[in-house]
Amino acid sequence: MTIVAKFEIHYTQFLDEHGKAVQPLPDFARDPAALVPLYKAMVRTRLLDQKMLALQRTGQLGTCCSCLGQEAIGVAIGSAMRPEDILVPTYREAGTQLWRGVTMVELLLYWGGDERGSDFAVPRKDFPVSVPIATHCPHAVGVAYAMKLRREPRVVVCTAGDGATSKGEFYESLNAAGTWKLPVVFVISNNQWAISVPRRKQTAAETLAQKAIAAGIPSEQVDGNDIIAVRHAVERALANARGGAGPGVIEAVTYRLSDHTTADDATRYRSADEVAAAWKAEPILRLRTYLASCGAWNKENEDTLLKQCNEQVQAAVQAYLDTPPPSTDQMFDCLYAKLPAALQAQRAQALGDE
């Protein structure tokens, strides 16, 4: 027997769960002050997330997906991307979207069932939230293919959960991206749960990153609760893709501290002890501990930040609540150049004209 190929998956962590550096930090992270904006962005994301949950529970927002515990991944991706790059997200990327210029009001409108929330004023070419699992992965490949044909030095970032890596669209997208050597980076947020299905029951693969090997795509695994590790990996993958080296896959290992959505009750399928253990490794406390140990953060800083973020969130919520709802007939707009008779009748009925 002859071995024709060997493969390895490397794992990276810079800050452990106690907020201690376990190896020399990359250049962008050596000055603790440079990490403060990342910390602030994570806190802002979490406070908006908490407010959205409260709004949903009081009937002022629709079903929404929390990114609790995954803030490091979202903010790391956003801070590593260039404005001209394109984000093709799933539904837990509020941290990335906020960093790229999507407003809190737009996010609130979207989760409130108002599609105007997907008409981003700033990142005009970023894709809207994709709720169907993995169906957006082929879209990312299509955009990246267009970029390559146009010889544009831009990159697509496609995010997906661990459950999406078990879907055919994910594998097909990797195969196409690898074959055509496209400028696209796939970031897998492995939060251990595909709704109620634990990671161990949905795939026998030792890592999710290794799923890229068959497609000929470089891949790696990082500590998804270590924002430095995620940012470092995404930056390198983006640089490679931008330089013509083709796609990359990053598996960020984290934990979904929330229910799957506000329509879910995770206590039905996982234990309180498991969740409590995961809280000890969550990303915000980890970075705050590190910054405090470096003298770059203190209680006064924290109190000021919380006050500012809460004011921003409350102002956004008020703007959202004050936004007049779309008229009923708008659901029929942008469907046809000339609305068919059957839909004309439905439109009239919806408006109460019949």
Count of residues making up the chain: 354
Contacts of 181 (CB under 8 A, 6+ apart): 148, 244, 245, 246, 247
For 62, counting Cβ atoms within 10 Å of its Cβ (0-12 exposed, 13-18 middle, 19+ buried), the class is middle
Q: Is 270 left (phi over 0), alpha (psi -120 to 50) or beta?
A: beta
CA–CA distance, 253 with 53 (Å, rounded to integer): 24
Closest CA to 93 of 110, 112, 73: 73
Closest CA to 59 of 112, 107, 131, 115: 112
Q: Is there a contact between 87 and 157 (Cβ–Cβ < 8 Å)?
A: yes
Contacts of 301 (CB under 8 A, 6+ apart): none
Q: Is there a contact between 38 and 71 (Cβ–Cβ < 8 Å)?
A: no
**Owner of token pair 């234990």:** 271
CA–CA distance, 244 with 68 (Å, rounded to integer): 35
Report the catalytic residues.
256, 260, 269
Count CB-CB contacts under 10 A for residue 78.
Answer: 26
